[in-house]
Amino acid sequence: MSLEVKELTKDDAFFDDANRTPFVIDGVGQMVYWKGCFVLVYKSSDTTKALDEKKHGDGEARVERGTTLWFGSKGGRVKQE
């Protein structure tokens, strides 16, 4: 389970209707975009211990099936497509 974080390519307007943190996403192969938050990466079958932490404030990544992401911070925004 790894998450390949890329530089955010979306502008502020893209996040106008985004979810606020804290927020959880279960991977099904979708793209996820975040702004102003950190990400904890879990195996979907065991969300008791994070496998990785991404401290990027902004980023985007494809979330594969079997991966669960927890986004945290005050005022962070998360959107998936």
Query: The tokens of 75 are what?
Result: 């005022």
Q: What was the pLDDT predicted at 2?
A: 74
**Can you give the pTM of this predicted structure?**
0.93
Integer CA distances (angstroms), 69 to 13, 16, 17, 47, 48, in order: 23, 21, 19, 9, 12
Q: Among the listed ranges 1-5, 35-39, 47-51, which one has the minimum average pLDDT value? A: 1-5
Residues 12, 26, 69, 6, Cα dihedral to 10°: -50
Q: What was the pLDDT predicted at 26?
A: 97
Q: What was the pLDDT predicted at 9?
A: 98
Question: Tokens 């502020």 sit at which residue?
Answer: 12
Beta-strand runs (E) in the chain: 19-20, 23-26, 30-35, 38-43, 52-54, 58-63, 67-72, 77-80
